[in-house]
Structure 1
């Protein structure tokens, strides 16, 4: 579990936890679909995440949109999932980047909150192994074909991160 403070948003810390080999993705997805307030997290499918920078760019955009009153989804956590997408189709964003019944690796993000409480809640409800949120860990969970399909980019390129973040930033321009 890690607390990340984005430089331009010091009042909105992120509680971030990466889980490998998750066994109960279907349960977690159902909690989101049911609108269970105890599960107000951005649950991301780690297989489609290129890097920490990729994820933090989505978080920055979502939090900034929340602060500016420009959310296109129901809350900042769903906005993080939506912000990962290069297009404006919210349901497609959730299909590609959100947790599904078959998700094996999950990145859980909570905007705000107490680190100890968030960690305890996630440990109780996510059946998976908690691992460090690093680029190396993400690389081991990555599904290159899904990333290529989502962003139309060769992820072996040195500039893949920049291209992906640029496509997220230009969405809706």
Structure 2
């Protein structure tokens, strides 16, 4: 399986991010149950890929969660749950889990694992554990192209309140007469950039 190692700028080298996109996951209900049981062996950020639009979108949430971890001001049980909540434009933690986290019927899952001094892990241990416990059709790096194939545009519009956004209006005109969800992967890079800016801006303004 493919597992990417990411070193974010302006983050200590001791804090390493491992990430992968799992497509057509067969056992999302099992993974969800492990989170509900607070099984520490499954301490990951399991993100529903349908709710995000780009790599930068995801990594913005990761950076925000790491900043909170380093400041010692976590509002959720751990840095991984903080990643999921950081995607939300609201302060409602339960809603953030429900909208951006994994659920029993989630199909495509972005998995983030953060290694830091208080809880160090290796890329080998993460890869072995995920390969043993996630049943899926394929995995891929966290690229814009791979994420776009999973995005549910209607869901993104609803969660970030983007009903009148120009980027979405232009997309809707191109998609006229065709099924919106199936065309998400055909959006232009410019449209994805605009949607990313809108989503990340909403995340940054949370609580204001």
Report the TM-score when normalising by structure 1: 0.96
Tell me what 1:105 maps to: 108
| Counterpart pick for 2:158 among 149, 156, 172 | 149
Q: Structure 1: state its 5+ residue gaps.
A: none
Report the counterpart of residue 171 of structure 1 in structure 2.
206
2:89 alignment partner, SS class: coil
Aligned to 1:34: 37
Give the alignment partner of residue 121 of structure 1, picking from 129, 141, 158: 129
Write the mapping of 1:44-59 to structure 2, written as runs, cut at 5 A. 44-59=47-62
**Could you state the TM-score of these two structures normalised by the residue count of structure 2?**
0.80
Q: Matched residues in 2 for 1:132 and 1:110: separation?
A: 14
- After superposition, the C-alpha distances for 1:10-40 in whole angstroms (9 at most, x for unaligned) are 3211010110000000000000110111000
Q: Which one has a bigger Cα radius of gyration?
A: 2
Partners of 2:78 and 2:199 in 1: CA distance: 23
Can you give the 5+ residue segments of structure 2 that lack an aligned partner in the other structure?
A: 116-120, 172-190
